[in-house]
Structure 1
Amino acid sequence: MKEKWKKAVPYLATIAAAFCASFVFTAFLLRPEPLQVGSAELGAIADGTYIGVCQNKILFAVVQVEIQNHEIVNIEVIEHKTAYMEQAKQIAEAVCDEQSLKVDAISGATLTSDTVLKAIENALRKTESFE
């Protein structure tokens, strides 16, 4: 019986190592990346409600941005990962308060902050005319 286990141990160790390596590789591939968030010229944006979307690997954000008189009056986070929804709402609120996409990321939720900011930028970019 001990002889069988001695022969099986290397195989089991190889299987365990392969499983761990595949897990680490998959986690690395799915990890969200830092995003470059630009700016938007509010003076060029007409009144209305605009939808913005950003997918950053496993993070996905959908926002609704309301513009009145060339100002952001409301940003609603329609969809985001539940565990980070509070941080996503904080970023949206900061953008409304500052009237700018240049706001500080939420500590401990930098990738969430980037994803929401990029979704807001995408909503505002849809509205600009490129003449």
Structure 2
Amino acid sequence: MKASSKARRGILPKLLAGAGIVFAVLLGIIFIVMLTQKPEKMEISNMDISSVSDGTYVGRADNGFVKAAVSVEVSDGKLKSITILEHDTLLGRPGEKIIDDIVEQQSLEVDAVSSATYSSDTIRKAVENALKKGE
């Protein structure tokens, strides 16, 4: 009995070490894949907001890594508000601040939020797609 108990105690650390190695390898593969993938390049056109009819429009954009859906309210030829309905991203939540710049400057030609370029661009594209529905 004592011999089998010792054998079991010797197997458990080996199993845990093996599982740890497998986990580390899988994590490394995921990391390498993430580093080598590039999001889709988004072309964002500035829009003449004064030509957009009054209303609330929903737009979506997806660059492969980041997805965004926004609701855009236009009144009297001006952007009144932008609401983020959906923003699926890994680390780009700070990119959501760009909606304040778009409304303030009444333009899609605003600088991306530092360290959140992909999120910023995806949100800007979603706004563009929403505004196109009101042309």
**Cα distance, 1:86 vs structure 2:** 3.7
Structure 2 Cα separation of the partners of residues 33 and 92 of structure 1:
21
Flag structure 2 segments of 5+ consecutive residues without an equivalent.
Answer: 1-24
1:24 aligns with 2:42: no
Structure 1 21/118 Cα, relative in aligned 2: closer, same or farther at 3 Å? same
Give the partner amino acid of 2:129. N
1:55-70 matches, cutoff 5 A: 55-70=62-77
1:52-131 to 2 correspondences below 5 Å = 52-81=59-88, 83-88=91-96, 90-128=97-135
Quick check: 108-117 or 36-45, which moved more? 36-45
Residue identity opposite 1:94 in structure 2: D
| Structure 1 runs, 4 residues or longer, greater than 6 Å off | none
Counterpart-to-counterpart distance in 2, 1:112 and 1:49? 22
Task: Find the aligned partners of 2:49 and 2:82 in 1 and give their Cα distance.
Answer: 14
TM-score of the superposed pair, with normalisation by structure 2: 0.71
2:54 equivalent among 34, 47, 56: 47
Looking at CA atoms only, which structure, 1 or 2, has the larger radius of gyration? 2
Please give the per-residue CA displacement for 1:65-92, whole angstroms capped at 9, x wherever unaligned: 000001000000111036433421x111
8 Å CA contact 1:34, 1:114 repeated in 2: no
Query: Is the CA contact 2:69–2:126 (under 8 Å) kept in the aligned structure 1?
Result: yes
Measured in 2, the distance between the counterparts of 1:120 and 1:100 equals: 10
Task: Please provide the CA RMSD for this pair.
Answer: 2.4
